[in-house]
C-alpha cells in the first residue's frame, strides 16, 4: 500500500490494507507473553495489515510455563495455539520463526536450540546475560545464516522513524564529522525503595540492571547512529537500594502486582554512567538509570558534528531537532522536524502528516523489517553480531566500574 500514489482524500483515510493472500506464510512462535510478548504480538498482528509484505506473518503459537495463563494470553493477543514448553514450540511444523520475549537468562538456550532446528530467530535485548553466551549465540547464528536462516536482536528503537531518519542524515554527511554522542536513558520506577524485587533486579536472571536493560539500548543507538563502534569506556555504577521486598508469586513484569514476602538482595546496578570513545575518535557519554524521579521513558540523544547537530527524546518521539551549522549564524538554530511525512522512514504506509505514531509502532516496524529480511535473504540488522558487540561494551563498563573507572578497552 503505497500511500504516496493515493489521492488526498484517500490519503486521509486510515490504512485499510488487506494482507495479500497469495504470499507465503511465515509462522511465528513466541516465547513469553508479558510486556514484550504483548508488544511483539501487536507488531506481528499489525505489520501485514499496514505494509506490503512478501510473506504473511501468522501468529502460530505462543509459549509460557503456566497452562491457564498462556491460554489466556493466546486468546487475548490472537495466537492460534499455546505451548507450555519452549522446546515443543520450536518443534512445531507451523513455526518458522521463534520470537524470544523472556528474561535474559533463557535467551541463549532457546535461540541456539531454535537455530539448530532450522528456525529464524528474533531475540529481545540484551542479546544475553554474558559475553560468552552472546558469542555462542552469534556462532550459532553465523552457522545458520549459511543455511539461509536469519537471527535478529530486538533493538526496536532503531525503528522509531525519527531515529531512522537521524541515521540517514548522519550517513548523508548532514552534520559532518562526528564530535560527540550524548546518550541518556532515564526511568524512575525504582525510586520507591518498596518497589518489589522482580527478575530485573537479580543478576542471575537479568545479567545486569539499568546497564543491560536501558544502557544496552543507548549503546546500540549510539553505535548505529554513528555508524562505528565504541572502542573503550570509563564507568561508575551504583546500587542505591540494596534490599527490596520479594514477590510471593512469579513476577508479573513491570506492573508486578502480587503479595510480597521477606526482603531479598538487589544484585544489579540501579544506575550506570560512562564515557567512551568511538573508533573515529568522537567522544560519547552515557547515563542509564531507573532512579531519575519524574523521567518515565526519557531516552535522549544529542549528536554534534562539525556541520550540525541532532537531538531526540523518546518522550516526544515524533520529533527530531536539527541544527544546520552551515546556515547563517543570525538565523541558524535548532529546528523541530515533525517526522511524520510520507518520505520519512516507515511513514509511507501510515497516517497523513502530523498524525503521530507511538511506542508500539516500533514493534510493527521491527516485524516488517524482519519479514522483508527473511524473504530477501538479506543480512539482518541488528544482527546477533551487533548484539554481541553491545554485550562487549556492557562487559567493559562493568569491568571499568569495578576497577575504579579505569579506562577499559572494548574487545572488538
- What residues make contact with ligand NAD under the rule CB under 6 A? 31-37, 63-65, 86, 101-104, 106, 124-125, 154, 156, 213, 251, 253
Q: Which is nearer to ligand NAD, 69 or 191 (CB)?
A: 69
Using an 8 Å Cβ cutoff, are 322 and 307 in contact?
no
Least gap, CB of 39 to ligand NAD (angstroms): 7
Least gap, CB of 94 to ligand NAD (angstroms): 18
Q: Which is nearer to ligand NAD, 19 or 250 (CB)?
A: 250
Q: Which is nearer to ligand NAD, 34 or 311 (CB)?
A: 34
Q: Which is nearer to ligand NAD, 106 or 405 (CB)?
A: 106
Least gap, CB of 177 to ligand NAD (angstroms): 31
Contacts of 76 (CB under 8 A, 6+ apart): none
For residue 31, the cross-strand partners are 63, 100
Least gap, CB of 248 to ligand NAD (angstroms): 16
Q: Which is nearer to ligand NAD, 119 or 323 (CB)?
A: 119
Please give the grid coordinates belonging to residue 219: 549503546
Q: Which is nearer to ligand NAD, 140 or 175 (CB)?
A: 140
Least gap, CB of 206 to ligand NAD (angstroms): 7
Determine how many CB atoms are found less than 10 A away from the CB of residue 354.
9
Least gap, CB of 216 to ligand NAD (angstroms): 8
Q: Which is nearer to ligand NAD, 88 or 132 (CB)?
A: 88
Whether the CA torsion 53, 58, 63, 67 is positive or negative: it is positive
Least gap, CB of 37 to ligand NAD (angstroms): 5
Residue nearest to ligand NAD (CB): 253
Amino acid at each position: 500500500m503505497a500511500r504516496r500514489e493515493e489521492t488526498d482524500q484517500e490519503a486521509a483515510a486510515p490504512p485499510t490494507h488487506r494482507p495479500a493472500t497469495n504470499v507465503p506464510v511465515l509462522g511465528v512462535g513466541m516465547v513469553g507473553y508479558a510486556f514484550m510478548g504483548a508488544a511483539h504480538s501487536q507488531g506481528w498482528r499489525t505489520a501485514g495489515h499496514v505494509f506490503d509484505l512478501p510473506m504473511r506473518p501468522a501468529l502460530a503459537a505462543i509459549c509460557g510455563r503456566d497452562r491457564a495463563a498462556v491460554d489466556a494470553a493466546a486468546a487475548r493477543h490472537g495466537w492460534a495455539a499455546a505451548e507450555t514448553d519452549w522446546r515443543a514450540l520450536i518443534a512445531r511444523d507451523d513455526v518458522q520463526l521463534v520470537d524470544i520475549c523472556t528474561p535474559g537468562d533463557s535467551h541463549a538456550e532457546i535461540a541456539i536450540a531454535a537455530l539448530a532446528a532450522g528456525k529464524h530467530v528474533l531475540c529481545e535485548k540484551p542479546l544475553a546475560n554474558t559475553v560468552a553466551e552472546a558469542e555462542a549465540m552469534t556462532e550459532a547464528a553465523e552457522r545458520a545464516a549459511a543455511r539461509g536462516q536469519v537471527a535478529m536482536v530486538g533493538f526496536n528503537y532503531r525503528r522509531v522513524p525519527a531515529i531512522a531518519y537521524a541515521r540517514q542524515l548522519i550517513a548523508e554527511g548532514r552534520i559532518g564529522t562526528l564530535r560527540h554522542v550524548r546518550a541518556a536513558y532515564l526511568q524512575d520506577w525504582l525510586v520507591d525503595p518498596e518497589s518489589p524485587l522482580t527478575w530485573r533486579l537479580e543478576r542471575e536472571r537479568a545479567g545486569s540492571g539499568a546497564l543491560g536493560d536501558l544502557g544496552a539500548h543507548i549503546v546500540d543507538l549510539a553505535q548505529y547512529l554513528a555508524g562505528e563502534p565504541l572502542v573503550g569506556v570509563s564507568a561508575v555504577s551504583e546500587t542505591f537500594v540494596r534490599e527490596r521486598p520479594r514477590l510471593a508469586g512469579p513476577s508479573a513484569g513491570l506492573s508486578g502486582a502480587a503479595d510480597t514476602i521477606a526482603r531479598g538482595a538487589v544484585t544489579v546496578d540501579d544506575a550506570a554512567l560512562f564515557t567512551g570513545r568511538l573508533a573515529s575518535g568522537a567522544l560519547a557519554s552515557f547515563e542509564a538509570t531507573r532512579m531519575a524521579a519524574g523521567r518515565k521513558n526519557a531516552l535522549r540523544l544529542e549528536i554534534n558534528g562539525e556541520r550540525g547537530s541532532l537531538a531526540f527524546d523518546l518522550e516526544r518521539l515524533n520529533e527530531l531537532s536539527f541544527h544546520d551549522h552551515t546556515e547563517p549564524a543570525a538565523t541558524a538554530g535548532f529546528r523541530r522536524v515533525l517526522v511524520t511525512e510520507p518520505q520519512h522512514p516507515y511513514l509511507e504506509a501510515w497516517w497523513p502528516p502530523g498524525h503521530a505514531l507511538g511506542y508500539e509502532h516500533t514493534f510493527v516496524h521491527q516485524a516488517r523489517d524482519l519479514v522483508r529480511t527473511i524473504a530477501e535473504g538479506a543480512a539482518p540488522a541488528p544482527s546477533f553480531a551487533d548484539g554481541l558487540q553491545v554485550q562487549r561494551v556492557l562487559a567493559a563498563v562493568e569491568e571499568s566500574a569495578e576497577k575504579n573507572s579505569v579506562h577499559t578497552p572494548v574487545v572488538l
